[in-house]
Amino acid sequence: MTAVHDEVLSFDEAMEKYDPALGFEVHVELNTRTKMFSSAPNGFGDTPNTNITPVDLGLPGVLPVVNRVAVESSIKIGLALGCKIAERSHFARKNYFYPDTPKNFQTSQYDEPIAYDGAIDIELADGTVFTVEIERAHMEEDAGKLTHMGGATGRIQGAEFSLVDYNRAGVPLVEIVTKPILGAGRRAPELAKAYVAAIREIVKNLGVSDARMERGNVRCDANVSLMPKGSTTLGTRTETKNVNSLRSVEHAVTYEIQRHAAVLDSGAAIVQETRHWHEDTRSTTAGRPKSDADDYRYFPEPDLVPVVTNDAWIEKLRSELPEPPAERRKRLQADWGYSDAEFRDVVNAGVMSSVEDTVAAGVSPAVARKWWMGEISRRAKIADLEPAELGVTPELIVELNALIESGKINDKLSREVLDGVLAGEGTPAEVVEARGLAVVSDDGPLLEAIDGALAAQPDVAEKIRGGKVQAVGAIVGGVMKATRGQADAGRVRELILQRLGVEG
Amino acid sequence: MAEINREDVAHLARLAHIDMSSEELDRMAGELAVIVDSIKSVSEVAGDDVPATSHPIPLSNVYRDDVVGETLSNEEALAGAPDNADGRFRVPAILDGE
Q: Are the beta carbons of B88 and A53 separated by less than 8 Å?
A: no
Binary contact (A295, B88; C-beta < 8 A): no
Domain spanning A443-500 has what CATH number? Answer: 1.10.10.410
Nearest CA distance, A304 vs chain B (angstrom): 8
Contact across the interface for A150 and B93, Cβ inside 8 Å: yes
CA distance A82 to A19: 27
Q: A301: closest CA among A30, A37, A76, A34?
A: A37
CA distance A116 to A81: 9
Q: Which one of A31, A37, A39 makes the best mutation probe of the B interface by having the most chain B beta carbons within 10 Å?
A: A39
Locate the chain A residue with the closest alpha carbon to B18. A97
Max mean pLDDT among A80-89, A325-334, B38-47, B85-94 falls in: A80-89
Question: Could you write out the DSSP letters of every residue in A203-249?
Answer: HHHHTS----GGGTSEEEEEEEEEEETT--S----EEEEEE-SHHHH
- The pLDDT value given to residue A170: 97
For residue B2, is pLDDT > 70?
Answer: no
User: Is B24 among the domain residues?
Assistant: yes
Q: Does residue B28 belong to any structural domain of this protein?
A: yes
Q: Which residues contact residue A419 at a Cβ distance below 8 angstroms, ignoring those fewer than 6 apart?
A: none
**What's the confidence (pLDDT) of residue B25?**
94
* pTM for this predicted structure: 0.79
Contacts of B62 in chain A (CB under 8 A): 65-66, 304-305
Alpha-carbon Rg for chain B, nearest whole angstrom, is 22
Burial of A305 from C-beta contacts in 10 A (0-12 / 13-18 / 19+): buried
B-interface mutation test, from A30, A88, A163, A274, most B Cβ less than 10 A away: A163
Q: CB distance B89–A47 less than 8 Å?
A: no
B66 to chain A: which residues are within 8 Å by CB?
A: 32-34, 67-70
Q: Report CA torsion sign: A341, A347, A350, A355.
A: positive
Per-domain residue ranges of chain A: 11-318, 339-435, 443-500
Q: Which pLDDT score, from 0 to 100, does residue A233 have?
A: 93
Across the interface, whether the CB atoms of A50 and B94 are under 8 A apart is answered no
Whether A49 and B89 lie within 8 Å, measured CB to CB: yes
CB contact under 8 A, B17 and A69: no
- Are residues B96 and A288, on separate chains, in Cβ contact within 8 Å? yes
A49 chain-B contacts, CB cut-off 8 A = 72, 74, 77-78, 87-89
Minimum Cα–Cα distance from B72: chain A residue: A53
Q: What is the pLDDT of residue A293?
A: 54
Picking from A49, A69, A157, the nearest residue to B78 by CB comes out as: A49
Q: Supply the pLDDT for residue A1.
A: 41
Instruction: Give the residues of chain A that fall short of pLDDT 70.
Output: 1-5, 151-158, 290-294, 440-441, 503-504
In this structure, the number of other CB atoms found within 10 A of the CB of residue B18 comes to 11
**Residue A300, min C-alpha distance to chain B (Å):** 6
- pLDDT for the residue A37: 98
- Segment B77-83 shows an average pLDDT of 95
Q: Which residue of A has its CA nearest to B61?
A: A307
Quick check: is B78 in a domain?
no
* Total Cβ atoms within 10 A of residue A164: 22
Cα B94 to chain center, whole Å?
20
Number of domains in chain B: 1
**Partner residues linked to A219 by β-bridges:** A27
When pLDDT is averaged across residues B39-58 and rounded to a whole number, the result is: 81
The boundaries of the domain holding residue B38 are 1-46
* Interface residue ranges in chain B relative to chain A, Cβ cutoff 8 Å: 11, 15-17, 54-55, 59-74, 77-78, 80, 85-98
Q: What CATH number is attached to the domain comprising B18?
A: 1.10.20.60
Q: ipTM, 2 decimals?
A: 0.87
| Phi and psi based region of residue A183 (left: phi greater than 0; alpha: psi -120 to 50; beta: remaining) | left
